[in-house]
Amino acid sequence: MASQVIGTGGALPKRVVTNQELSALLGLSEKEIKKRCGVEARHWICQGETTSTLAIEAAKVALQDSGLPARAIDLILVSTTSPDMVFPSTACLVQKGLSARDIPALDISASCAGFLYALSVGDQFIKTKSAKNVLVVAAEVKSPFIDLANPGTAILFGDGAGAVVLTDGTTGVRSVRLYSDGRRHRLIHLPAGGSRVPMTEDSLQKRLHTIKMEGRGLFRMAVEKMERSLMVLSDEVALSDIDLFIFHQANLRILERILKRTGIPQGKCHITIGQVGNTSSSSIPIALNDAICHGKIKKGTRVVLCAFGGGLTWGWAIIEW
C-alpha cells in the first residue's frame, strides 16, 4: 500500500509586491534585491486574507483536482508557523470552511520543512488504514512578521498556500525521512508572542515580534543539510534516476549552490522563488502544483521533495507519480 497524490492546488494573495515597490522602502536597488535572493516579486496578504482563507482556497482547488468532495476526507493536516490565532488550530478553520465532516484536524509546526512533516503524518495514517483520504495543506502568512528595517528578511518572504489530497493506492509516497536540530534554533526564529516572551510594549518597541535570521549561518546550514540529505537519499535511489527535484524555495543562491555541489542538472529542478518568494512550508506544495500545471509531472514521474527550515528541521520525500 502507498499513499497516492491524486490532487494538488495552490493559492496566492491578490497583492503582488515587486522589487520596485520594496526598493523605495528599503533603499536597495531592484537589481541588488534580485542578486541577493533571486526574488523579483512576492505576494502579501491584504484585507480579508488570512492563513486559513489561503489554506481553504488551495484545499478547494486540490479537492476539485482529485475529484473527491470534502465529505470524503478523513483527516485534515495543516502545516503552518503563522496560524490565524494560537487556538483553535488553522486546520479546524479549514474543516469549517470546507464544510467537511467531524473528522480529526490538526496543525503541524515544523517551519519550512513542515509540509514534509505533514505529508509523513498523512502517509502513516493511510498506510496504517487509519484514514483512506487525507488533505494535507501548507499555508503561511509571513508578511505581518517582516521587519522592513531589516532588508535581509524583508526581501525574501511571501505569503501563500499549497495543498495535496492523498488516498490509498499502489504507487505514491515511497519514503520520507525527517530530521531536526534544536540546538541551532536561533539561526531563524520569531522571539516574542509565545509564553517565553509575551506581548508587551517593550517587546513591540524592540521589534521582537518580527523574524530574526542569521543569514550567513543559515545559508551554510541549509546547503550542508540538504546536500547531506540527498547523499542519504542516494543510498535508496540514484539521483540520476530522479526525474524532478522540488526544493524548498528559500533563496535562489542556496538552490544554485546545492545543484552545483550535487551535480543535479538545473533542468531537473523546478524553481518558483522568482515570482512568489520564500513562502516557508507552503513553498514545496506551491512549486509541486506549478510543476504539474507546466506538464513536468505525469504518470511514472519520480519526484524528490527536499526542504530545510527553522527549528532546525529538514528532510526529503520520494514520490512515484
- Where in the sequence numbering do the catalytic residues fall? 112, 248, 278
- Tell me the three cell numbers of residue 267: 533542468
Question: What does the angle CA 312 – CA 314 – CA 320 come to, to the nearest 5 degrees?
Answer: 165
Cis status of the peptide bond prior to 88, with omega within 30 of 0: yes
Enter the DSSP assignment of 167: E
Rounded Cα gap, residues 145 and 308, in angstroms: 20
Strand partners, 79: 108, 138
CB atoms within 10 A of CB 110: 25
SS3 109: coil
Q: Which residues contact 166 (CB under 8 A, 6 or more apart)?
A: 3, 4, 5, 6, 119, 122, 123, 126, 133, 134, 135, 136, 172, 173
Residue with cell 465529505: 71
| CA 215 to chain CA mean position, Å | 19
User: Which residue intervals of the chain are DSSP H helices?
Assistant: 19-26, 30-37, 51-66, 90-98, 114-127, 151-154, 201-205, 215-233, 252-262, 273-276, 283-293
Q: Distance between CA atoms of 108 and 72, rounded to whole angstroms?
A: 22
How many Cα atoms are found within 13 Å in the side-chain-facing hemisphere of 88? 11
